[in-house]
Amino acid sequence: MQNRLTDPFELKKYISISESEEKDFDRLEKFFSFGVTPYYLSLIEKENPNCPIRLQVVPRNDELQHAEYEKLDPLAEDENMPVKGLTHRYPDRALWYLSHHCAVFCRFCTRKRKVGSSFETPISEDRENALSYLRSHSEIKEVILSGGDPLSLSDDRLIEIIRSLKNISHINHIRIHTRYPVTLPFRITKEFSEKLKEFFPIFLVTHFNHSRECTDDAKKAIENLVKHGGVIVLNQSVLLKGINDSIDELAKLNYSLVNMGVKPYYLHQCDEVFGSKHFKVSIEKGIELMKQLRGFHSGITIPNYVIDLTGGGGKIPLPTDYLKKTDTLSYEFENFKGKKFNILK
Ligand X SMILES: *Cc1c(COP(=O)(O)O)cnc(C)c1O
If one asks whether residue 14 binds ligand X (CB under 6 A), the answer comes out as no
Piece in contact with ligand X (CB under 6 A), picked from 43-51, 86-94, 96-104, 336-344: 86-94
Look up 93 and say whether it is catalytic. yes
Question: What distance in Å separates the CA atoms of residue 310 and residue 194, rounded to the nearest whole number?
Answer: 39
CB burial readout 255-283, b (16+ within 10 A) else e: bbbbebebbbbbbbbbbbbbbbbbbbbee
Based on the shown chain and the rule CB under 6 A, indicate whether residue 114 belongs to the binding site for ligand SF4.
no
Taking the C-alpha atoms of residue 211 and residue 296, their distance in angstroms, rounded to an integer, is 19
**Beta 93-97 vs 86-90: how paired, if at all?**
antiparallel
Catalytic residue among 271, 280, 291, 305: 271
User: Considering 89, 112, 114, 187, which one is annotated as catalytic?
Assistant: 89
DSSP one-letter code for 225: I
Catalytic residue (one of 60, 62, 71, 90): 90
Check binding of 280 to ligand SF4 (CB under 6 A). no
Figure out which of the listed residues 89, 107, 179, 278 binds ligand X, where binding follows CB under 6 A.
Answer: 89
Please give the residues from 99 up to 158 whose contact with ligand X meets the rule CB under 6 A.
144
Stretch that binds ligand SF4, among 3-11, 109-117, 157-165, 334-342 (CB under 6 A): 109-117
Q: How many CB atoms lie within 10 A of CB 84?
A: 16
Give the other-Cβ count within 10 Å of 115's Cβ.
22
Q: Which of these, 236, 289, 287, lies nearest to 264 by C-alpha position?
A: 236
| Torsional sign, CA 118, 124, 130, 133 | negative
Question: How far apart are alpha carbons 126 and 314 in whole angstroms?
Answer: 25
CB nearer to ligand SF4: pick between 148 and 286: 148
| Least distance from ligand SF4 to the Cβ atom of residue 72, Å | 14
Which residues within the stretch 259-298 sit at the binding site for ligand X (CB under 6 A)? Answer: none
Give yes or no: 248 in active site.
no
- Can 106 be counted among the known catalytic residues? yes
Q: Verify whether residue 73 is a known catalytic residue.
A: no
Supply the residues annotated as catalytic: 89-90, 93, 102, 106, 109, 111, 271, 308, 315
Given the rule CB under 6 A, which residues bind ligand SF4? 102, 105-106, 109, 111, 115, 147-149, 179
